[in-house]
Structure 1
Amino acid sequence: MSETISPTFTFVKGGVFYFSRRIPRELLRHYSSPRIAFSLRTRSARVAEARARKAADQLDDYWFALRSQDAELPGKHMLRFGNSGPSGLGTATTVNSSAFVLLSEAVEIYLQQKGKGRPDTFRRAAERACGYVIDACGDKHLDVYTKADANAFRDALISRGLAGSSLTRVFGTVRAVTNFAASEQGLSLSNPFAGVYYDRTAGVSDRNSIPKEALGIIQRKCREADDDLRWLVAMVSDTGMRLAEAAGLTKEDIVLQDDGSLFARVCPHPWRRLKTKGSERDVPLEGEARWAAERVLEQQSPSQFAFPRYNSKGATNANAASAALNKWIKEHGLEGYTMHGFRHSMRDRLRAVECPADVVDQIGGWQTDGVGHGYGSGYPLDVLRKWMKAVT
């Protein structure tokens, strides 16, 4: 074949062959554009012809699947359809082409494989992030999205008022979904949602470490109120635990030792996962954290949870706890401080008594750099307790 004649369904731009095919009129309602066009990534007419024919055949199969949903075909009732996408259109799993995957289908592929055993929040995050893309750019095949679509998606998120940290999280989820689905389907993809510029600091407030004076005020208020909400605040204030870690504790996780000391066993539960493997640890309970633990254990509640209020629906609701407790802290004139500030504060307090950095990391469940730190079982509890007593 002559290299100067474009094969069927192709055109040449800058010496590179592109696939181009008009979408049948009766199927236009399923698409956001009247034509499908993408690079075949070759300058050879022979290679372009083979790739274009394969793409055309796959499109014919896919369009047959779309048409079969409206036509009265023999055996139509035996076709297997997956979950409906945002348009309400079921996907015929028996004939769907792997080379043409809609974003809504990519979400299901991702969740079917990666979502096993994960909490509902994992599914909601993937569906929400990709739903934002579909709202802004339409439900397109993965290889049809462009950098212009990614930029439009970014602008739509900014217009929603999302902070830079939230944009980073949403873009990360979209990239994970598209990359995984493309890999699973054998689709070569240059992900347009990678490398999108935005101000990562926009709208992000500093999580200030809570100073000693403010810490004392909050802890005194906890003693005065003496209820389950304030026990949770006190527990976090003198351990540096993440709020979700403390809120998801059971009474059995608060362990009384033979010498009368207490520690909290932070471990994964079906209702509350841990952020990292290093988050699993034992934390000595000293100062106000010990007072809070004792008050929890004194209660005659039939619930297994230390803080039943935030574990009533099968999952620890740390977001609700954060909203309520941050509001309470603000009401006491401590503007600019949040529950997460206790975690920053604990690290500062341990630094102030010259606690070794790897001990600090073990107490807080932070990742310690270096291969050597992965060996052994860490410091014994009595060593950790010595440093916790030094700061409480």
Structure 2
Amino acid sequence: MTRKVDYLFLRKGSQNWHLKLQYPGDLGQKIGRKRIEKSLGTPDRAQAEILALPYIQEHKMHLLHGHKDFRIVWKHRFEPGRQHVGPAGERIIATDRELIYLDPQGVITKRAPNGDHFIPVPPLLEQKAAVRREQLRRRGVRNSDDSIIDTYLKHANVTGYNEREARAVWSLYKELTNGKPLREATREDGRKIVQYFEDNGLKSATIQKKVGWLNAAINLAIGETKLSFNPFSAIVPKRTDSERRLPLSEADMKLVRAGMEQLDRRDQLLLRFLATTGARLSEAFEIESELMERGCRYVIIGRKTPQSHRRVPLPAAVLPFLPRQIDGQQFQGTARSASKRLNRFLDDIGITDPRKVIHSLRHRAQDRLRAAGCPIDYRWALLGHEEKTVAEGYGLGFPVPALKRWIDKIGF
């Protein structure tokens, strides 16, 4: 079977193979030609493919040179502008692009390139960034269903990281299905997202959360009679693959206290706050101000669910490290970047059990309160309800001074 090579063709009236390569508009103007088209002088296709290789190399070099994520340099074999002595004792005159070989009488014996084109390999982070930019460019193409996602995000007031996550999952769907319209989509199309995430090692709970954005958006569109079927409903299999997190032990906390100097001031404060309150990492980044009740300073956190919304007294172990008045966000970057920094810190100080992560401080707080005899309703008030209860909507809850007596039992 003849192998198809698009850049080779037979011109009418000729038996010889011809080569045709084209350059994109801007690049063609830059190098002064839009295409390469020439006869390779042979009717033998295999030989023509070999003869075409130098032209293909030059063509690809120009394409790469025009790509903002790559640069091509000329790597010299010999330093130009000097005379060198070759391995056999011959004299070599080096110019920028050419080597001129001379015999003892000064006669030129041959010429050769002074080096070759070279593409420096960028650091791994730069390579990943280049790949990510290309993926975002491909996913960025809008279609008529984008308004459904836009409407949901605005309707549900989804912003920040959650909005970016939702749009990323939607873009992934478009990429995996070649932009298939939602009116034509089936659950098999939705399961392509699930398969993609599973292939990348995500747990079922994480996949459920990511797919949940699309599921909710389509449900809203169905309620508004824009669609009639949800291809993202009930597509994530129920699996027992969640990894049980372990609380940090007192031995672990000893390592944490001994290694605190490895963190900068803001991350030290963040870790202390998480350890002494049991708050979720994302909740710490919600703090922009404080309140006072009967001499007790406290903050309000908990946007994950209505039942997680709560008042948290500032523990005695944190107060010396706080400003006199909280006015603005106290922690740098985002919760996601902080999670990476703090989990890396745990690894660096010797806490390498994969079940022990920065979220383990929340489990530790729960255990410390339970061991201190803290009643369950106080624990809920301090750490947030995991499930919606009838009583949660009544009043403001326990007085802050009463909560502070218990939260100080957690300690650092």
TM normalised by structure 2 equals: 0.58
1:218 aligns with 2:256: yes
Q: Cα gap change, 1:221/1:346 in structure 2, threshold over 3 Å: closer, same or farther?
A: same
1:283 aligns with 2:312: yes
Give the match for residue 223 of structure 2: 183
Q: Share of identical aligned residues, percent?
A: 24
Give the match for residue 253 of structure 1: 290
Tell whether the 8 Å contact from 1:265 to 1:283 is kept in structure 2 after alignment. yes
More helix as a share of residues: 1
1:144 aligns with 2:184: yes
Quote the offset at 1:327 in angstroms: 0.7
Give the match for residue 24 of structure 2: none
Q: Cα gap change, 1:209/1:304 in structure 2, threshold over 3 Å: closer, same or farther?
A: same
CA distance in 2, matches of 1:224, 1:143: 54
Q: Cα gap change, 1:356/1:201 in structure 2, threshold over 3 Å: closer, same or farther?
A: same
Q: What SS does the corresponding residue of 1:359 show, helix, strand or coil?
A: helix
Give the match for residue 148 of structure 2: 106
Give the match for residue 338 of structure 1: 357
Q: Which has the higher contact order (CA 8 A, sep 6+)?
A: 1
Q: What SS does the corresponding residue of 2:297 show, helix, strand or coil?
A: strand
Q: Which residue of 142, 153, 156 maps to 2:196?
A: 156
Tell whether the 8 Å contact from 1:240 to 1:344 is kept in structure 2 after alignment. yes
Q: Which residue of 360, 364, 367 maps to 1:348?
A: 367
Q: What SS does the corresponding residue of 1:346 show, helix, strand or coil?
A: helix
Q: Which residue of 181, 192, 206 maps to 2:231?
A: 192
Q: Which runs of 5+ in 2 are unaligned?
A: 1-137
CA distance in 1, matches of 2:294, 2:369: 24
CA distance in 2, matches of 1:121, 1:226: 24
Tell whether the 8 Å contact from 1:136 to 1:153 is kept in structure 2 after alignment. yes
Deviation sequence 1:333-389 (CA, Å, 0-9, x none): 112322211111111111112211110000112246542343232111222122223
CA distance in 1, matches of 2:213, 2:235: 14
Q: Cα gap change, 1:153/1:369 in structure 2, threshold over 3 Å: closer, same or farther?
A: closer
Q: What SS does the corresponding residue of 2:299 show, helix, strand or coil?
A: strand
- The residue correspondences of 1:3-42 to structure 2 (distance < 5 A) are none
1:377 aligns with 2:411: no
Q: Cα gap change, 1:128/1:224 in structure 2, threshold over 3 Å: closer, same or farther?
A: closer
Q: Aligned AA for 1:113? A: H
Deviation sequence 1:14-60 (CA, Å, 0-9, x none): xxxxxxxxxxxxxxxxxxxxxxxxxxxxxxxxxxxxxxxxxxxxxxx
Quote the offset at 1:277 in angstroms: 3.0
Q: Cα gap change, 1:344/1:179 in structure 2, threshold over 3 Å: closer, same or farther?
A: same
Tell whether the 8 Å contact from 2:281 to 2:359 is kept in structure 1 after alignment. yes
Tell whether the 8 Å contact from 2:278 to 2:362 is kept in structure 1 after alignment. yes
Q: Aligned AA for 1:266? A: I
Q: Aligned AA for 2:216? A: A
Q: Cα gap change, 1:193/1:224 in structure 2, threshold over 3 Å: closer, same or farther?
A: closer
Give the match for residue 383 of structure 2: 364
Give the match for residue 264 of structure 1: 298
More strand as a share of residues: 2
Tell whether the 8 Å contact from 2:307 to 2:388 is kept in structure 1 after alignment. no
Deviation sequence 1:131-163 (CA, Å, 0-9, x none): 221122232232311233233332223223333
CA distance in 2, matches of 1:309, 1:87: 29
CA distance in 2, matches of 1:387, 1:182: 47
Quote the offset at 1:232 in angstroms: 1.3
Q: Which runs of 5+ in 1 are unaligned?
A: 1-84, 92-102, 268-272, 311-316
Quote the offset at 1:195 in angstroms: 2.0
- The residue correspondences of 1:308-319 to structure 2 (distance < 5 A) are 308-310=331-333, 317-319=334-336
1:297 aligns with 2:323: yes
Tell whether the 8 Å contact from 1:86 to 1:104 is kept in structure 2 after alignment. no
CA distance in 1, matches of 2:252, 2:139: 49
Quote the offset at 1:224 in angstroms: 8.4
Give the match for residue 274 of structure 2: 236
